[in-house]
């Protein structure tokens, strides 16, 4: 059943990727309506060989829309999404505005696809760092029940938007030339540096980004007893978030068993040959939809621990791809009902 689809934030980095994925994955739509802020209205985007004018984001824009895929700041999402739902649209939202709302499913299709069927007009896509981690956790949790996770993230500057990318390029150029640079996205230089803070300060010394990983993981798995200790770090990498993950399970897993579980899991690709120097690298995982896993090994400090390295494109699987996959789940559910 073809959908009348609106993409909100169509001119942004993630919005442009959503449009590209809808085309590449041949999503069944009968009409596309790109929406953006007033300053972007009137621009055109290319989709399936046609030039389509971008319309201004306003309540009336949703009057003839079945499905919305939205990538906007939280405050914008909090404002317009109820208006879209009131007009009969189902919304897949990539912001943080609705993720922890108890009436809104938080969905990663490889992990909890059944949650999509419980929506009341809004579905949320998790934070990018959470998404790749829970995809990696899923096969281990199903096989041996994860009780604890210790994760350190190495997050690319693309996660901070266009200004983050500009800060990396221009800041690096300035540093190499011995010049100063006025950083826009980051409170400290990112060139040749690491910043161990992403998001605002929250309770017990954790940041908002770190607590997202805790609370979103609990909601996705439906299990608040999983203990999660995250440390989120911005690194001078253009694209792809990397994570060093240690999980402790109720039943002991060997490294070989964990590797087999990863290899059989949907959405995961294993690259794990340490003697050959083969493991996931951000440069090689960029513009890919999979979650890449390597350096799989048993924890030397725990009898039931598995450690591994995880890399994923934060703009694709961490954002645009996951949202489009949720939309595909919805279309599949609609087809099943109508058959």
The answer to whether residue 310 is catalytic is no
289 Ramachandran zone, left/alpha/beta (phi>0; psi -120 to 50): alpha
User: CA quadruple 153, 156, 158, 162: dihedral positive or negative?
Assistant: positive
- Within 8 A by CB and 6+ apart from 329, the residues are 107, 109, 113, 116
The answer to whether residue 241 is catalytic is yes
Phi first, then psi: what are they for 281, rounded to 5°?
-125, 140
| Cα distance between residue 117 and residue 326, in whole Å | 10
Tell me the sheet residues that pair with 39: none
* Active-site position among 119, 141, 241, 285: 241
* Active-site position among 128, 232, 240, 310: 128
Q: Per-residue DSSP letters for 147-158?
A: EEEEEEEEE-GG
CA-closest candidate to residue 258, choices 111, 143, 129? 143
Phi first, then psi: what are they for 249, rounded to 5°?
-115, 160
User: CA quadruple 125, 130, 131, 136: dihedral positive or negative?
Assistant: negative
| Cα distance between residue 165 and residue 174, in whole Å | 14
Active site residues: 128, 241
């Amino acid at each position: 059943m073809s959908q009348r689809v609106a993409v909100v934030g169509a001119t942004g980095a993630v919005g442009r990727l959503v449009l590209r994925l809808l085309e590449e994955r041949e999503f069944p739509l009968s009409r596309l309506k790109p929406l953006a802020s007033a300053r972007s209205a009137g621009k055109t985007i290319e989709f399936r060989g046609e030039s389509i004018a971008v319309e201004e984001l306003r309540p009336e824009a949703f009057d003839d829309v079945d499905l919305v895929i939205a990538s906007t700041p939280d405050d914008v999402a909090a404002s317009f999404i109820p208006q879209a739902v009131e007009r009969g649209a189902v919304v897949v939202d990539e912001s943080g505005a609705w993720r922890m709302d108890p009436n809104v499913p938080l969905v990663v299709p490889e992990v909890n696809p059944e949650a999509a069927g419980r929506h009341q007009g809004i579905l949320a896509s998790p934070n990018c760092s959470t998404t790749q981690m829970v995809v990696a956790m899923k096969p281990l949790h199903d096989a041996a029940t994860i009780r604890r996770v210790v994760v350190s993230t190495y997050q690319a500057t693309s996660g901070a938007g266009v200004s983050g990318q500009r800060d990396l390029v221009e800041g690096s150029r300035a540093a190499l030339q011995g010049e100063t640079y006025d950083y826009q996205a980051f409170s400290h230089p990112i060139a040749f540096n690491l910043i161990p803070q992403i998001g605002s300060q929250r309770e017990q010394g954790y940041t908002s980004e770190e607590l997202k990983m805790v609370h979103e993981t609990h909601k996705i798995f439906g299990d608040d007893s999983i203990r999660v200790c995250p440390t989120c770090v911005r690194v001078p990498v253009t694209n792809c978030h990397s994570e060093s993950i240690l999980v402790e399970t109720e039943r002991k897993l060997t490294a070989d068993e964990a590797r087999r579980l990863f290899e059989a899991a949907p959405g995961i690709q294993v690259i794990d040959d340490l003697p050959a120097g083969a493991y996931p690298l951000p440069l090689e995982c960029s513009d890919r939809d999979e979650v890449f896993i390597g350096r799989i090994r048993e924890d030397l400090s725990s009898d039931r621990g598995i450690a591994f390295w995880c890399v994923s494109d934060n703009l694709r699987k961490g954002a645009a791809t996951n949202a489009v996959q949720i939309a595909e789940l919805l279309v599949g559910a609609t087809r099943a009902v109508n058959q």
